[in-house]
Structure 1
Amino acid sequence: MIIKLYHITLLFFLFTTSFLTAQGCVAIRHFSSCVGSSLENNVLNKGDIQLGLNYRYFKSYRHFRGTHEEPDRITNNTEVINFSHSTDFFLTYGISDRVYTSITIPTVFNSRSSLYEHGRNERNTTFSRGLGDVRLGVGWWLLPLETNPKGNIAIGLGVKLPTGNYNASDIFYNVGLNNEPQTRPVDQSIQPGDGGFGFTADFQWYQKLTNGLFSYASGFYLLNPREINGIRTFRETLSPLLENESIMAVPDQYSVRTGLSYSLSPTISSSLGARFDCVPVKDLIGGNEGFRRPGNVLSIDPGIGFNKSNFSLNLNVPFAIRRERPQSITDIQTEIQTGNPRHGDAAFADYVINFAVSYRFSSNKVPVPPEFMNEFKTK
Structure 2
Amino acid sequence: MINKIPLLFLFIILSASYLNAQGCVAIRHFSSCVGNSLENNVLNKGDIQLGMNYRYFKSFRHFRGTEEEPDRVTNNTEVINNSHSTDFFLTYGISQRLYTSITLPTVFNSRSSLYEHGRKERNTTFSRGLGDIRLGLGYWLFDLETHKNGNLAIGMGFKLPTGNYNASDIFYNVGPNDGPQTRPVDQSIQPGDGGFGFTMDFQLYQKIANGLFSYASGFYLLNPRETNGIRTFRETLSPLLENEAIMAVPDQYSIRTGISYSITPTLSSSIGARFDCVPVRDLIGGNNGFRRPGSVLSIDPGIGYNKSNFSFNLNIPFAVRRERPQSITDIQTENSTGSSRHGDAAFADYVINFGVSYRIISNKVKISPELLNDFKSSNSN
TM-score in same-fold range (> 0.5):
yes
Q: Secondary structure at the match of 2:23?
A: coil
Name 2:138's counterpart in structure 1: 139
Aligned pair in 2 of structure 1 residues 214, 184: CA closer, same or farther (>3 Å)?
same
- For 1:85 and 1:131, the matched residues in 2 are separated by 12
Query: Is 1:286 aligned to residue 277 of structure 2?
Result: no
Contact 2:8 2:218 in 1 (8 A): no
Q: Which residue of 2 aligns with 1:76?
A: 75
Q: Kindly provide the amino acid, as one letter, of the partner of residue 345 in structure 1.
A: D
SS in 1 for 2:242: helix
- SS of 2:128's equivalent in the other structure is strand
- Take 1:37 and 1:201, find their aligned partners in 2: how far apart are those partners? 16
Partner of residue 16, structure 2: none
In structure 2, what is the Cα distance between the partners aligned to 1:32 and 1:163? 15
User: What amino acid sits opposite 1:357 in the alignment?
Assistant: V
Tell me the residue number matched to 1:317: 316
Distance 1:56 1:376 in 2: 24
Q: Secondary structure at the match of 2:173?
A: coil
Question: Under a length normalisation based on structure 2, what TM-score does the superposition of the two structures give?
Answer: 0.91
Render the CA deviation track for 1:300-355: whole Å, top value 9, x for unaligned: 00010110010011100000000000001111111112211111100000000011
SS at structure 2 position matched to 1:276:
strand
1:295 corresponds to which letter in structure 2?
G
Count of residues in Structure 1 that have an aligned counterpart in Structure 2: 367
Q: Distance in 1 between matches of 2:66 and 2:198?
A: 30
> SS of 1:351's equivalent?
strand
- Offset at 1:369? 6.9
Whole-Å separation in 2 of the counterparts to 1:258 and 1:341: 37
The CA distance in 1 between the partners of 2:259 and 2:338, in whole Å, is 48
Q: Give the Cα separation in 2 of the matches to 1:68 and 1:170.
A: 32
Q: Hey, what does 1:56 align to over in structure 2?
A: 55
Q: Name the counterpart of 1:93.
A: 92
Distance 2:247 2:222 in 1: 16
CA distance in 2, matches of 1:238, 1:335: 18
Q: Could you tell me how far 1:29 is from its partner in structure 2?
A: 2.9
Which whole-Å CA distance do the structure 1 matches of 2:370 and 2:227 have between them?
56
1:92-241 matches, cutoff 5 A:
92-241=91-240
**One-letter amino acid matched to 1:94:** G
Contact 1:36–1:304 (CA under 8 A) maintained in structure 2: no
Shift in alpha-carbon separation, 1:365–1:184, aligned structure 2, 3 A: same
Offset, 1:148: 1.4
Give CA-to-partner distance per residue, 1:116-172, whole Å, 9 cap, x none.
000101000000000000000000011122321111100000000000000000000
TM norm structure 1: 0.91
Secondary structure at the counterpart of residue 176 of structure 2: coil
Aligned to 1:272: 271
Residue in 2 aligned with 1:327? 326
Q: Is the 8 A contact 1:37 1:269 kept in 2?
A: no
Asked if the contact 1:265/1:377 (under 8 Å) is kept, the reply is no
What is the deviation of 1:22? Answer: 1.1
Distance 1:372 1:348, change over 3 A: closer
Letter aligned with residue 65 of structure 1: R
Question: Letter of the aligned partner of 1:14 in structure 2?
Answer: I
Classify the secondary structure of the residue corresponding to 1:157. Answer: strand
CA contact (8 A) 1:217 1:257 kept: yes
Q: Which has the higher contact order (CA 8 A, sep 6+)?
A: 2
1:28 to 1:150, Cα distance in 2 relative to 1, 3 A: farther
Please provide the CA RMSD for this pair: 2.4
Cα gap change, 1:100/1:28 in structure 2, threshold over 3 Å: closer, same or farther?
Answer: farther
Aligned counterparts of 1:369 and 1:246: Cα–Cα separation in 2: 57
Structure 2 letter corresponding to 1:316:
N
Task: Read off the aligned partner of 1:204 and give its amino acid letter.
Answer: Q
1:101 aligned counterpart, secondary structure? strand
The alignment-based identity, stated in percent, is: 80
Which residue of structure 1 lines up, in the alignment, with residue 5 of structure 2?
Answer: 14
In the TM superposition, residue 364 of structure 1 has moved relative to its aligned partner by 2.3
In structure 1, runs of 5+ residues without a counterpart are none
Decide whether aligned partners of structure 1 residues 179 and 160 sit closer, same or farther in structure 2, where only a CA change above 3 A counts.
Answer: same
Q: Which moved more, 1:354-363 or 1:13-22?
A: 13-22
Q: Distance in 1 between matches of 2:372 and 2:151?
A: 19
CA change 1:311–1:139 in 2 (3 A) is: same
Secondary structure class of the residue paired with 2:24: coil
SS for the counterpart of 1:14 is: coil
Aligned CA distance change for structure 1 residues 240 and 264 (closer, same or farther; 3 Å): same
Q: In structure 2, how many angstroms separate the alpha carbons of the residues matched to 1:104 and 1:348?
A: 26
CA distance in 2, matches of 1:164, 1:377: 35
Tell me the secondary structure at the aligned position of residue 330 of structure 1: helix
